[in-house]
Structure 1
Amino acid sequence: MSRTTPNLSKHNARPAHSQSNLTIKLARYVGYFAIGYVLASTLFMMIQTKVALNSQLVTALSIFLGAYIAVNKFIKHQQRALNREEINRLMFGGILVVWLLTAIYFSALWVWLFDDANREVLIEMTLQQPLPLVSALVMILVLTLVSARISIWALNRLLDPQRKMS
């Protein structure tokens, strides 16, 4: 009867809760992304009262600033760069939060700002020509996804502590 010794190596042992712990940690950084996006959007709204800015540029810059805050906080807290899976999760989570905040914003405008006549005109316009609205929504969705992906990837490489040392 041979005796086998248990493998005590910590390298091979993975706790069962590591996947949920990763999700919880990334949720915090998605929140940082959202806070940065809201702060940048507010700043650009104030700037737009004085100077006219391109709305797509404002969206891309707001997402860039949100990504900077999220990636910077992640690297400060974790002392490492994001991996590909974390970049994807942060990107999709951040964009989901951005679109959720946008939907809440437009719902609030619909309820509190528009009267019945304005609502009827917008509904009628949407029903008569839905293609421009749908194409605009698709374009802004693609813009937010691409700008978030590029921003998170570039900032992750730029702020990576291992790249700074070498």
Structure 2
Amino acid sequence: MSRTTPNLSKKRQVQTNRSGQSQKTHLVQYVGFFAVGYILASAIFMMIQTQITINPQLVTALSILVGAYIAVHKFIKHQRRPLTNSEMNRLTMGSIGVVWLLTAIYLLGLWLFLFDAVSREVLLEMTVQQPLPLLSALVMILVLTLVSARLGIWIFNRLLAPK
């Protein structure tokens, strides 16, 4: 039984990492960039809405587009390459999760700190009597956020991609 010595050359390991499949990029940082952009854009649009009336769906879509631009710009700046399809999908799902988490925190804050007991009871009764408008609004917002995040990430990935 012959023994072979393992190849301990570091040069070979570096070459296989570079020439093989690209390492999985950790997109958590870029989802964080998306969240910061989304929060900043939402805050700016909320201040603008005190002066002029803007459609809430337009504000949501524009805030998501700002977040997508920041995330894709930072990714391309750090990685020096455009996002792959799987990375775009993961970034889209992560960003949608962030948007919905922030929305849930915002609504929970409103529920706990702004509404009194009577307002909560009225809202619960309205929801129990007619749940379909609330469900359809939730589905529409989910579709809006999904489509605007995916399109924004795809468009900015194409526009900002290094040549």
**d(CA) in 2 for partners of 1:50 and 1:62?**
18
Q: What does residue 133 of structure 2 align with?
A: 132
Q: What does residue 31 of structure 1 align with?
A: 32
1:52 match: secondary structure? coil
Q: What does residue 160 of structure 2 align with?
A: 159
Q: What does residue 72 of structure 2 align with?
A: 71
Q: What does residue 141 of structure 1 align with?
A: 142
Q: What does residue 119 of structure 1 align with?
A: 120
In the TM superposition, residue 13 of structure 1 has moved relative to its aligned partner by: 5.1
Report the AA paired with residue 46 of structure 2. M
**d(CA) in 2 for partners of 1:87 and 1:124?**
41
Q: What does residue 56 of structure 2 align with?
A: 55
**d(CA) in 2 for partners of 1:11 and 1:138?**
48
Query: What do residues 29-83 of structure 1 show as CA deviations (whole Å, max 9, x unaligned)?
Result: 0000000000000000000000000011100000000000000001111111001
In the TM superposition, residue 90 of structure 1 has moved relative to its aligned partner by: 0.5
**TM-score normalised to the size of structure 1?**
0.86
In the TM superposition, residue 114 of structure 1 has moved relative to its aligned partner by: 0.3
User: Cα 1:47–1:10, aligned 2, differ >3 Å: closer, same or farther?
Assistant: same
2:82 match: secondary structure? coil
5+ residue gaps, structure 1, are: none
**d(CA) in 1 for partners of 2:90 and 2:119?**
39
Write out the 4+ residue segments of structure 1 that deviate beyond 3 Å after TM superposition. 8-15
5 Å-filtered alignment, 1:78-117, equals 78-117=79-118
5+ residue gaps, structure 2, are: none
User: Cα 1:148–1:128, aligned 2, differ >3 Å: closer, same or farther?
Assistant: same
**TM-score normalised to the size of structure 2?**
0.88
Query: What do residues 99-147 of structure 1 show as CA deviations (whole Å, max 9, x unaligned)?
Result: 0011001001100000000000000000000000000000000000000
- Count how many residue pairs are aligned between Structure 1 and Structure 2: 155
Report the AA paired with residue 110 of structure 2. L
Report the AA paired with residue 58 of structure 2. L
Report the AA paired with residue 96 of structure 1. G
- Alpha-carbon RMSD across the aligned residues, in angstroms, is 2.2
**d(CA) in 1 for partners of 2:43 and 2:13?**
51
Report the AA paired with residue 145 of structure 1. L
In the TM superposition, residue 10 of structure 1 has moved relative to its aligned partner by: 5.3
**d(CA) in 2 for partners of 1:49 and 1:108?**
20
